[in-house]
Amino acid sequence: MKALGLHSLSSLCEADVVDFYTAWEVVAKHVNTYTEEPVVAAGLSLYCDGRALDVETYPDIARIIMLILWEVGTLRSYSSRCLWVKARTIAFQSIMYYELNLLEMLPSLASNSAMVKIIVQTILPMLHKNIKLYAPC
């Protein structure tokens, strides 16, 4: 149910029907299970894809969201493996919408700008496939 709500909310924010930041105040409180539920993680990653995000106006929220996306993208979970692969892929696809300087805020990449360039130039374009959130593996 949470994943479907996040997917719907993402569409509403993208169409400027709902304000991303107003919705974020509610979303942030109710999706704290994203590290346990791959479909919720995928829905949250889709919602946080950055297209509705004003990074310059809300840098603290942008940092939190970037850390969430990175956590989902690098999470090692062996249960529901196929679903986690989709969640990680969607998280990295969402990261593609952010500026390079935000990637450098991530703890594991902060001191390694060469790694950031590799991710941006090589890995992220490979992930830019259209993977359906609820499609079977």
Quote the domain boundaries for residue 73.
Answer: 2-126
Residue 135 lies in a domain: no
User: Which pLDDT value is given to residue 133?
Assistant: 46
**For each successive 10 residues of the chain (137 residues), what is the average pLDDT?**
84 86 87 87 87 76 87 78 87 81 65 58 55 48
Is 137 among the domain residues?
Answer: no
pTM of the model: 0.74
**Structure token digits, residue 59:** 């840098």
136 is a domain residue: no
Residue 39 lies in a domain: yes
Give the pLDDT confidence score for residue 93 in this predicted structure.
Answer: 86
Q: What is the pLDDT of residue 111?
A: 55
Q: Contact, 133 vs 5, CB < 8 A?
A: no
Report the number of distinct structural domains present in the chain.
1
68 located within any domain = yes
Residue 107 burial by Cβ neighbours in a 10 Å radius (0-12, 13-18, 19+): exposed
